[in-house]
Amino acid sequence: MEMRTKIDSALKAAMKNKDAERLSTLRLINAAIKDMDIARRGTDAEDTGITDKDVMDVLGKMVKQRRESARAYDEGGRIDLAERERAEIGIIEEFLPKQLSDDEVAEAISKALTETGAESIRDMGKVMGALKAKYAGQMDFGAVGPMVKDRLG
């Protein structure tokens, strides 16, 4: 639950500092986490709520949604809205692990190919599974998929 504590602390700090933009984004994050918590409630006999990994998944989805929205706003000529989406991305990414550079991603793909013994496109699922297990939240798997496909194809 460490992620939730960090987010709650940031929310309280934003309230004290009267930072409306940051406060708004942090409230959206909390709402998304609570939605997942409610959706999961009662699905397990030993329900312990959502984990930090679940929170990171939620944050990753939020970043992805905002990137798509910013791209759509840019295409529609609404630069003001695109900038607002990018500002929200910056706030959300504060709680995610550092993103790997392009070189680090290429190296991670090479290691995953070696570790899984992947030789053809049929092994792509194994490679992606290994990458997701090891680098969750640290790379954009939508962009990594085609890179892996190129290496296997």
Q: Are residues 38 and 107 in the same domain?
A: no
Q: Are residues 18 and 82 in the same domain?
A: yes
Q: Are residues 124 and 85 in the same domain?
A: no
Which residue range is the domain that position 33 belongs to? 2-93
Q: Provide the 3-class DSSP secondary structure of residue 96.
A: coil
Q: Are residues 74 and 107 in the same domain?
A: no
Number of domains composing the chain: 2
Per-residue confidence at 64, pLDDT binned at 50, 70, 90?
A: confident
CATH of the domain at 35: 1.10.1510.10
Per-residue confidence at 62, pLDDT binned at 50, 70, 90?
A: very high
Q: Are residues 17 and 76 in the same domain?
A: yes
pLDDT tens readout for residues 3-26: 889 999 999 999 999 999 999 999
Q: Are residues 114 and 85 in the same domain?
A: no
Q: Are residues 58 and 120 in the same domain?
A: no
Closest CA to 113 of 87, 148, 83, 140: 148
Give the residue ranges of DSSP H helices in the chain. 2-16, 20-40, 52-75, 79-93, 102-116, 124-135, 141-152
This model's pTM is above 0.75: no
Cα angle: 29, vertex 63, 130; to 5 degrees = 110
pLDDT recorded at residue 141? 80
